[in-house]
Amino acid sequence: MNVKKGAQLILEIQSAGAQGKGVARTSEGQVVFVPYGIPGDQVEVTVIQSKKKFLEAQIDKILKPSPSRISPKCSHFGICGGCKWQHMDYEAQLAHKKAEVTNNLKHLGGLQLPEPDPILGCSQIFGYRNKVEFSFSSMRWLSEAEVASRNLYDRRALGFHIPGRWDKVLHIDYCHLHDAYSNEIRNFIFKQAIENNWSFWNPREQRGLLRTIMLRISSTGQYMVLLQFGEDNQKVIDSLLSRLLKAFPKIYTLVYAVNTKGNDAIYDLNLQTFSGPGFIEEKMKAYKEGDPDLIFRISPKSFYQTNSLQAEKLYSRVLDYLQPTGNENIYDLYTGTGTIALYMAKYVKRVTGIELVPDAIADARSNAELNGINNIDFVVGDMKTAFSEDFITHYGHPDVVVVDPPRDGMHPTVVSQLLRLNPQRIIYVSCNSATQARDIALMKDKYSIECYGPVDMFPHTHHIENVALLKAVTW
């Protein structure tokens, strides 16, 4: 039976699927994706998309809530799109995330699996992000009620882009993913802008004074604020930044940029340090108790895991799987700013980190020097072509390769290079178990999964990290 758009159905949500959507089936067995549906919900829905292989439907009424359904904490929930599972009990979130990892490895990868290690949940499920970015806009998103009223509204906003709408921003009063002080900073800037009638960025016309804010906080309590301005009005820039520093003395470094280009990316911008050293310092506990903490200098352009507490658990799991003896020669692929490589270095013989982005390698080298770590090399290179005979001769053949690729996973050529390197063990850290499953499947003739375990870095979202230890079938 072909269910058409606009049809109304009564469904029971059976599982959580792609992008955190609830998954149900019609009486004929057709798959239905239901945003904000929780496994166990009985719901009345309206079909909003009818495809050959699946339907998508929106909830009109919850007939019987799931035992896992709770009241979301955030007033913006359901519109913002940042916390799609905030209405789900955290233990249920962890159970679904763990199941997703296993299902992807088993069904997408066709892999033989051991029993998974326990998922490492987050003890702090709100206020855990150490980096948040907000956009100014002269085109605030209006609710259906506001549109229907036909009233004239102030359209200035400071918040998050509505999912799928590059030109509309939802104004945020309070974001529970970062701390109270950061919220106060954001609201102060917004209030100053309104009181002084400074212009907000218009994404369609590509003009306006105030453009974006990036807020970062380290576990040491240092705050960084980066403001992007769409116009070079130095008098207003100096005035706002001076007021900000006076109102918030905890700001350790204050940075700004004038950006008149078509996108908000900071990597090609000339950043100006208004106050402070231009970086904040992050501390990470060493793997073994009693060893000195690691210190990382984080600049505005630096990558660092956005959940500092969980980063320690993630890297500890990597070392748990590595079981270092002190004699290992390790390659760390997609090393970024070298956080995993530096975390491992004290416990192995040698680490070589490889990364395509020169600025990231510069940060990695600086952090190695800052921590007095000498048994490490950081190399700018394309992993599709880096591992020449000269490279291996210079840096030694790896006993273990650690990979931590972006969400898209590894390029097939990189997988081929790994197989050619033929290390005894591979530790695959992934933020997308679907692409992880695909990549490991390409190596399953030579490697098997010895153990694996998820780590939850992002409570209230469907995202989940997974660490897998692969061992060569024959060595």
Active-site residues: which are they? Answer: 431
Instruction: Provide the 3-class DSSP secondary structure of residue 140.
Output: strand
218: left (phi over 0), alpha (psi -120 to 50) or beta: beta
Q: In 60-141, which ranges are continuous DSSP H helix?
A: 90-103
Q: Are 421 and 451 in contact (CB under 8 A)?
A: no
CA dihedral 241→242→248→249, nearest 10 degrees, is 120
Tokens 């080298």, residue? 365
Whole-number Cα distances in Å, 195 to 190, 191, 192, 200: 9, 6, 5, 13
Which residue type is seen at 209?
L
Q: How many CB atoms lie within 10 A of CB 42?
A: 16
Alpha carbons 423 and 386: distance in angstroms, whole number: 16
Q: Which residues contact 346 (CB under 8 A, 6 or more apart)?
A: 286, 287, 291, 373
